[in-house]
Amino acid sequence: MYRTFFIIGLGTKPVTTISASLTAAQKTRLHEVADLLLSIMHTLACMRYLQQDWIQPGPHNIDAQLPLYHSLGLDPSIIYLYSILHYLSQRYVDFFQGSSFADFRTESDVRDGRKSMHDSDTAAAHMRPWMTPLSMLGNHDSVILYDAKRHVIGIFDQIWGRSSDPNLYEGWVCESELDDGSRYLFKKVEEGRKVQCEAWELKEQMKRDQEEEEEGVDVDNEAKEDEDEEDEEDEDEDEGADVEKNYWDEMESRPAPNNSAGWEWDPELVTPVYRKHGWPSDSFDGDAFQVDQVRAVARARAEDIAQRPLAAVQTAEHYVKRQQEQEASVMPPRLARLAVAATVDEEWTVRWEIWQAERHTEDLRKKLKQAQETTERLCPNKQGPGDEELLLLELKEIQINLRVGQCTTSIGECEEEVAALRAWMGGLPDGAELAKRVAQGVVDARLDAIAHLVERRQGRIDRVEKLRESSA
């Protein structure tokens, strides 16, 4: 009922008319959100994660998108927000907790934003007209949501269906996974510090949660929300102002969360480099940071490659030991079954199991021997490479990482594809509008990719020059 009235009432009126329908207080709040995101972008640009010229400050002319906004029943406040938000010229750039930067000038982000948790179309109605994501969901991680009616920003996890804002979990027992696959429990205390916890603490917390649920605690009671709206807004202002300080200035989060950023933004690698060059002080040397970042990544990759033979031996030894332990436990029952086998078929069924196990053990021992021989050849006396060998490996990794020709080849391939698509579109008959739109969408995506590759190639060229200058 509300949506129908909204669409008929506003039609496709320009943004100036929509702006006039909002109060000064509403616009102040919306500009506060836009300014917060711009401040974050500038912070990430200072950290050299974003390029400064990628940032496209608002306001933007979104008249062409108004029919789409109205067809989805967006509230005037959200449409106005989309016009003043600041966007990036690059697409699919990692943002926070696995999400990416959004651009609501594009149809795909607008439509995906109405089902920001990748829900089905039926569930999309849960995104209210006065709500919007401020980031796009990545691979089963978190998304930042904004409620213009309550002026509240939240960070929600898709898998767990609850808030993933670290500021809300002080004293809360959390579970995480280490690189080796093992899990550990911790909780945040003062100043964001993490303290390891015991399993009983998690059980106590789960017990309290269950008791509250059985008592019928309603955390989403709308009457209480309305009653506490002003307090929540004040809290949100404080919380929003802390986003940059807590997550980036204080290095609690690397600039790129986890999607496609790769080694160069690994927190263990970049955090010491940031500290070395003065982040977050005004004396931070971004150029020197980028040079040392390339070297740190190259050194880490070189060390990883150099240690692989030793690691392969350890892995093979682990599998042989595990197989021997398993056989020690299952062999006696097999031999007992063999001793009482009444038929030839029963006997040879057991012998087959024994033979398979022996063959598997022998195969694991062969792999262990091969790994040991490789290690002896590459790492005499079970020692990794020396400093000189590491430097050569590091140089090789730098050359691979800064391979300019690879970008040039990819640019050429994209340009050929664009030319082929345009030639195909030129042969479409009148009326083939859907095919034309689909093909044009692919062309636009390839043109975006070309622009991104050109930027990346230039960035690599600049890095090579900086490395040469620093080496000189």
| Single residue among 203, 236, 257 that ends a domain in this structure | 257
**6 and 155 inside one domain:** yes
CA 334 to chain centre: 49
**148 and 297 inside one domain:** no
Question: CA 226 to CA 222: how far, in whole Å?
Answer: 6
Question: CA 452 to CA 89: how far, in whole Å?
Answer: 9
Q: What pLDDT, on the 0 to 100 scale, is given for residue 217?
A: 42
**243 and 297 inside one domain:** no
Structure tokens, 132: 């919007």
User: Is residue 15 domain-resident?
Assistant: yes
Structure tokens, 48: 């050299």
Look at residue 195 and give its three-state secondary structure: strand
User: Is residue 415 domain-resident?
Assistant: yes
pLDDT tens sequence across 267-304: 788 888 999 999 888 889 988 888 788 778 777 777 77
Confidence of residue 213 (pLDDT cuts 50, 70, 90): low
Highest mean pLDDT among 184-188, 239-243, 448-452: 448-452
Contact 141, 98 (CB under 8 A): yes
User: Is residue 186 domain-resident?
Assistant: no
| Single residue among 232, 257, 282 that ends a domain in this structure | 257
Beta strands 173-177 and 152-157, pairing class: unpaired
Amino acid at 352: W
Question: CA 138 to CA 143: how far, in whole Å?
Answer: 8
Question: CA 68 to CA 110: how far, in whole Å?
Answer: 8
**19 and 153 inside one domain:** yes
Look at residue 162 and give its three-state secondary structure: coil
**422 and 380 inside one domain:** no
Instruction: Outline where DSSP puts E strands in 152-281.
Output: 152-157, 173-177, 183-188, 194-196
pLDDT tens sequence across 27-80: 999 999 999 999 999 989 998 888 888 999 989 988 888 999 999 999 999 999
User: Is residue 126 domain-resident?
Assistant: yes
Question: CA 291 to CA 264: how far, in whole Å?
Answer: 11
pLDDT tens sequence across 405-431: 667 778 888 888 888 888 888 887 887
With 80 as the cut, is the pLDDT of residue 394 above it?
A: no
Q: What pLDDT, on the 0 to 100 scale, is given for residue 124?
A: 45
**235 and 342 inside one domain:** no
Highest mean pLDDT among 122-136, 229-243, 324-338: 324-338
% of residues, the chain, pLDDT over 90: 19
User: How many distinct structural domains can be found in the chain?
Assistant: 3
CA 195 to chain centre: 25
**56 and 136 inside one domain:** yes
Question: CA 143 to CA 159: how far, in whole Å?
Answer: 11
**29 and 145 inside one domain:** yes
With 50 as the cut, is the pLDDT of residue 219 above it?
A: no
With 90 as the cut, is the pLDDT of residue 318 above it?
A: yes
Helix axes 286-339, 387-401, angle to 10 degrees: 110
Q: What pLDDT, on the 0 to 100 scale, is given for residue 28?
A: 94
Burial class (CB in 10 A: 0-12, 13-18, 19+), 81: buried
Query: Measured between alpha carbons, how far is residue 467 from residues 283, 292, 301, 461, 463 in Å?
Result: 21, 9, 18, 10, 6
**DSSP secondary structure, 44-100, as one string:** HHHTTSS-GGGEE-S----GGGHHHHHHTT--HHHHHHHHH--EESSSS-B-STT-E
End-to-end CA distance of the chain: 70
pLDDT tens sequence across 121-161: 544 446 789 999 998 876 666 788 899 999 988 887 765 55
Give the structural domain span for 422: 404-471
**445 and 338 inside one domain:** no
User: Is residue 171 domain-resident?
Assistant: no
Contact 153, 240 (CB under 8 A): yes
User: Cα 328–333–334 angle (5° rounding)?
Assistant: 90
Residue 11 zone, left/alpha/beta (φ > 0; ψ -120 to 50; rest): left
Contact 131, 147 (CB under 8 A): yes
**228 and 115 inside one domain:** yes
User: Is residue 208 domain-resident?
Assistant: no
- Full-model pTM: 0.58
Look at residue 294 and give its three-state secondary structure: helix
**54 and 91 inside one domain:** yes
User: Is residue 344 domain-resident?
Assistant: yes
**378 and 421 inside one domain:** no
User: Is residue 262 domain-resident?
Assistant: no
Q: What pLDDT, on the 0 to 100 scale, is given for residue 3?
A: 31
| Single residue among 392, 426, 444 that ends a domain in this structure | 392
User: Cα 431–436–437 angle (5° rounding)?
Assistant: 115
User: Cα 418–55–105 angle (5° rounding)?
Assistant: 60
